[in-house]
Amino acid sequence: MTRPIRCLITAGPTREYFDPVRFMSNPSTGKMGYALAQAAIDAAWTVDLISGPVSIPPPQGANLYSITTGAELQQTCHELFPTCDILIMCAAVCDMRPAQTHPHKIKKESFEWNIRFEPVPDILKGLSAVRKPGQVMVGFAAETWDIAEYARRKLKEKNLDWIVANDVSRTDAGFGADTNTVTLYARTGETYALQPGTKLEVASSLLALFAPSLCQSRTSS
């Protein structure tokens, strides 16, 4: 008897703070990641959902883990990744952060305008380095130009099985939209241009394509 597929999904933005009241982030609303979680629940998968700060309710039935920063996302991913069958990294990670975070609010007159930044560690690449045989890894490429080139590059550099690419400059497919249009690239070379639809419809189509690649040796303990 096989056990349910265990799916780890990340969603929403991360924030990187200059001081306790100022941060840098992105416009991600978490809608696509939450749609993936809902589709996985509908498919009777077990869902661990790591979410950045969003204003939408999580799908009922998901195990929710709330994070704010990239470091928190990295830690929680490494804690949960070993037990998942498939990781879907949909979170919009802020990939840089201030080199120094001030413990108190910086006053305007003493603000340092030449701010130094440092990269946030590549979470997907780090997880890929510790993946077990049979684990499936899916990334997202939210781009505004040369989408196919950047998506294929990320697929290879991060050693993923799949990458989902979309043009976030489009009003019907970008951050905050209720619909999405994506292209799916596979490690094995296939490309799938999915039909536009609501984010839940697109999520269901994606999971249907991921499912056959999951390890067939999952058995209940």
Catalytic positions are 26
d(Cα 43, Cα 206) in Å, to the nearest integer?
12
Find the angle CA(81)-CA(175)-CA(52) to the nearest 5 degrees.
35
d(Cα 49, Cα 199) in Å, to the nearest integer?
17
Buried/exposed 99-137: b ≥16 CB within 10 Å, e otherwise: eeeeeeeeeeeeeeeeeeeeebebbbeebbeebeeebbb
d(Cα 124, Cα 137) in Å, to the nearest integer?
9
